[in-house]
Structure 1
Amino acid sequence: MKLEGIHSVYFLGIGGIGMSALARWFHQAGYAVAGYDRTPSPLTDELFEEGIKISFEDQISAVPEKYINEKKGLLVVWTPAIPKDSVLYQFFTSGGFAMKKRSEVLGMITADHYTIAVAGTHGKTTTSSLIAHLLKSAGKPVTAFLGGITQNYQSNLILNTTKEATIMVVEADEFDRSFLRLHPDVEVVTSADPDHLDIYGDEETILEGFREFIKLLQKKGKLLIQEKAAAKIGTENLPQKGVKIYGLRSATGIHAENVQARPGSFAFDYEDGKVQIKNLELFIPGFHNVENALSAIAIALDHGLSPMEIKAGLASFRGVKRRFEILVQEGGKVYIDDYAHHPEEIRACLSSVRAMYPGKKLTVVFQPHLFSRTRDFAEGFSESLSLADQVLLLDIYPARELPIPGVSSEMLFDDIHTADKKIASKEKVFEVLEEWNPELLVTMGAGDIDRLVPKVKDWMRSRLKPELL
């Protein structure tokens, strides 16, 4: 199927972060766009305001007639998050409509463009957003499909506004093997930890998925890979040429020196053996984000950016919503929200928070995501959450899954070594916060905990100490 043969696009699950970016791209490219999602959200509100028709009823009557009557030239884009018993899914699949997954469509769009694809079980949203920002802030012709809402652009889509040939920056998502649909000229692999075992089954199979992704690299392409990921995937499985290995403290590859944790930022020097850029400052804190920045800087250098352009772009980057987002930092109170939903992400986040605010009591509210992930990584979750002084566990957010007998937040509770710990429903969160009165609070999770964030921010601000303002 070719893009030039399409006049209309209907999205099943239009409110997803990746789906909504595609919907925006088609809409701004002049296609007729509409879609369905289960519930309204800030993302669907924004799409509606941009002129995209959205229904929240899983009924055929909710689909505009144009999309049903003009089958030829209609593309239906769907996400695996849509249940197979959905009325609309059943209608389109049985009706002979052209249907493609989001990853297939992203592959179609990027096939004819120079593409930088960022993969990894953690860090791909921040890294791809930072690459896109560095290039765009230096005037490069960038279009980016991102897995989060960037603070600089207030969108998950960045469009090339020049007449030059587009550089595509995309998130290469390993879920459902989506990243195997792409045609990358440059690849970044930020991490290769076991995850999505409901799809892959075991760690070796997901590593094989990353090896297959690396094989997609175009001839004369370039690969930047984090050193631990390279070791897991196997250096013998990497291309013989065009490979750069990076790591926060790598002894031989791209690395950072003089890393300093500050309240609200991290400072460091970039080193790659040939180029040194001193006194860089990144206002999205975290040791893991410094590491993400290393690969973005290397790509920026490869695309002709000067050290001064990189330093300015890095300093102006404001991050991605829900990625180590500092929401309150005044009056003796600090509140940070993060999307962390894997033990390694939790460990990276909390270790960085400890370094930034030494001596403060650290309180964490965590919502586990998926029954299968909670079961598969229970020990790791308990260990990483034990870095906090106080832990409040919420119920598991099921997302696309049905409950698994015996799997609940209680699986994590007993093995969390923190003495001050509780389990509560979302409705009881503020009762616990009132009791604990945290000075340094972190909320974490990939479920609907984001709905609580504005209320928690207001609550923390109401507890500021006037004498410290």
Structure 2
Amino acid sequence: MNAPQKIKQFINSPSGNVGDVVVYFIGIGGIGMSALARYFKTKGAMVTGYDRTVTPLTQQLEAEDIDVHFEEDINMIPKNADVVVYTPAIPSTHKELVYYKENNYTVVKRSDVLQWITESSYDICVGGTHGKTTVTTMIAHMLRDSGYGCNAFLGGIAANYQTNFWSSDNNVDVIEADEYDRSFLKLSPDIAVITAMDADHLDIYGTLEEVENAFVAFTKRIHKDGCLISKYGLNRSEDLTAATHYTYCYDNKEADVYADDIKVEDGAYKYNVISKDWELYDVELHMGGLHNIENSLAAITVCKYLEIDDSKIKKALKNFKGIHRRFEYALKNNKHVLIDDYGHHPAEVKAALTGVRSLFPEEKITVIFQPHLFSRTNDFADEFAKSLDIADEVVLLPIYPAREKPMEGVTSQLILDKMQLPQKQLLDKNAMLDWVKLYKPQLVIMLGAGDIDALVQPVKKILEL
């Protein structure tokens, strides 16, 4: 039996103990990788991994008896690994990755493993250039809370459960379908959701047209009797097809599903959901941002398609606590509000700031934004500037490079120079903390997908003093 066959047999075994299975993860601290590591650990495999730095997530994995090391060292890796899983963010020169490839181990990407896992399950796959993590987590929570049950592979930490993975006896998988590196084209959804098809990951796709082509190809992978739920008004909407197709939009009655009579009461949204086939009244969402009302429409439509009871849908949504770093309140009292958000694309920045403005229309909005990737900053400098101009005051941090090397002439100054907002500045991390200490802004939203999250607690402590 070769390694992929052994792993597939292990996956399809109810108990998971088909022989001794050893799985090694290079980049185990990534949000998607850690979900897979937890999956294999839950099924009884021996799971270990490498990551570059210690993070709260790697510490949680270690607390769950998953060994993690932080040095590129072939003396620390399992030589009996049945499969080695790596993330595309890992450079091809990584010593451990090179060793495994040169010695003919089964070395696969995370997307390959997700394909193996989902081949024999009912799959709800959520794709989109932004919004997919929130929608995926909402759906998974609502299926779990309602008693329907699902296995969840999330791209964020669900605040209700403090994890990005859980299992269920019901053979239904809710999966965040990642468009990066075209990974989502290895999935075959029974239900697919598309939240957005904006230009992103142009280092992979090159053009917006190629991004759109990939999403069209994603819909072609939906099972012949499956369902597609897509944001109303997407480009190429005529090419997005499935046996059953619903569109959704929070404020356009031309969509198949839309929100009506939206109110803000005690920091929560209350609204009705109107569909061409059904209606759901008195829905309550305790998660900031009008875009999250829209996200909830996609999740509700999935639940209605699965014929979950209305009262269970409303109860689940009402007690949904959100996702870490998705419009998450790090501090909220009568003096200060501090919001932490993962937004790193211009559309996400715009959605987050529009959401803040809808909830706090009279407050001065201060944004602390860390651009993510030199390529994304270069591609979208104009769009970032326009989105950030929605705020009243902006502090830009230096670009977080992630997997990239610097690009000549590309710094956060590129965005700053294009902004029309008078109150704007570029500060390093220490200078930003000093500035917060001096001015103590009342309403702050911290945005970015890099390591800005490590600054949230220091900012919170300053504001609490």
How far apart are residue 240 of structure 1 and its match? 5.6
1:272 corresponds, among 272, 275, 287, to 275
Counterpart residue number, 2:14 = none
Counterpart residue number, 1:465 = none
Counterpart residue number, 1:77 = 85
2:312 and 2:440 map into 1 onto residues whose CA distance is 43
Counterpart residue number, 1:207 = 212
What is the correspondence of 1:374-453 to structure 2 with a 5 Å cutoff? 374-453=377-456
C-alpha contact (below 8 Å) 2:341/2:445 kept by paired residues: yes
Structure 1 residue matching 2:458: 3-state secondary structure: helix
How far apart are residue 429 of structure 1 and its match? 1.2
C-alpha contact (below 8 Å) 2:24/2:84 kept by paired residues: yes
Over aligned residues, Cα RMSD in angstroms?
1.2
1:186 corresponds, among 178, 191, 195, to 191
Deviations 1:281-335 (A, max 9, x none): 1111111100010011111111121111111001110000000001222122111
1:151 aligns with 2:149: no
Counterpart residue number, 2:251 = 249
What is the correspondence of 1:276-287 to structure 2 with a 5 Å cutoff? 276-287=279-290
C-alpha contact (below 8 Å) 1:263/1:356 kept by paired residues: no
Amino acid of the structure 1 residue aligned with 2:53: T
1:43 aligns with 2:57: yes
Counterpart residue number, 1:467 = none
C-alpha contact (below 8 Å) 1:264/1:326 kept by paired residues: no
Counterpart residue number, 2:112 = 104
1:173 aligns with 2:178: yes
Deviations 1:390-418 (A, max 9, x none): 10000000000000000000100122121
Deviations 1:174-229 (A, max 9, x none): 00101001111000001111100010001000000001101000110000000132
C-alpha contact (below 8 Å) 1:210/1:233 kept by paired residues: no
2:338 corresponds, among 332, 335, 338, to 335
1:7 and 1:263 map into 2 onto residues whose CA distance is 51
C-alpha contact (below 8 Å) 1:60/1:91 kept by paired residues: yes
How far apart are residue 340 of structure 1 and its match? 0.4
Counterpart residue number, 1:138 = 146
Counterpart residue number, 1:57 = 71
1:159 and 1:319 map into 2 onto residues whose CA distance is 19
Structure 2 residue matching 1:328: 3-state secondary structure: strand
C-alpha contact (below 8 Å) 1:341/1:368 kept by paired residues: yes
Counterpart residue number, 1:371 = 374
Counterpart residue number, 1:25 = 39
What is the correspondence of 1:213-362 to structure 2 with a 5 Å cutoff? 213-229=218-234, 232-235=235-238, 237-239=239-241, 241-252=243-254, 253-262=256-265, 264-362=267-365
How many residue pairs match? The answer is 450
Q: Percent identity?
A: 41
1:264 and 1:90 map into 2 onto residues whose CA distance is 52
How far apart are residue 34 of structure 1 and its match? 0.5
Structure 1 residue matching 2:383: 3-state secondary structure: helix
Counterpart residue number, 2:135 = 127
How far apart are residue 141 of structure 1 and its match? 2.3
Counterpart residue number, 1:197 = 202
Structure 1 residue matching 2:326: 3-state secondary structure: coil
C-alpha contact (below 8 Å) 1:117/1:188 kept by paired residues: yes
1:261 and 1:425 map into 2 onto residues whose CA distance is 36
1:455 and 1:102 map into 2 onto residues whose CA distance is 34
2:23 corresponds, among 6, 9, 12, to 9
How far apart are residue 275 of structure 1 and its match? 1.6
Structure 1 residue matching 2:418: 3-state secondary structure: coil
How far apart are residue 263 of structure 1 and its match? 5.4
Counterpart residue number, 1:466 = none
C-alpha contact (below 8 Å) 1:369/1:445 kept by paired residues: yes
Amino acid of the structure 1 residue aligned with 2:43: A
C-alpha contact (below 8 Å) 1:262/1:356 kept by paired residues: no
Which blocks of at least 5 consecutive residues in structure 1 are unaligned?
463-469
Give the TM-score normalised by the residue count of structure 2.
Answer: 0.95
Counterpart residue number, 1:86 = 94
Amino acid of the structure 2 residue aligned with 1:328: L
- Name the CA shift for 1:97/1:410 in 2 (closer, same or farther; >3 Å): same
2:450 and 2:247 map into 1 onto residues whose CA distance is 33
How far apart are residue 238 of structure 1 and its match? 2.4
Amino acid of the structure 1 residue aligned with 2:25: F
1:61 and 1:310 map into 2 onto residues whose CA distance is 51
Structure 1 residue matching 2:233: 3-state secondary structure: helix
Structure 2 residue matching 1:452: 3-state secondary structure: helix
Deviations 1:114-138 (A, max 9, x none): 0000000011111010001111111
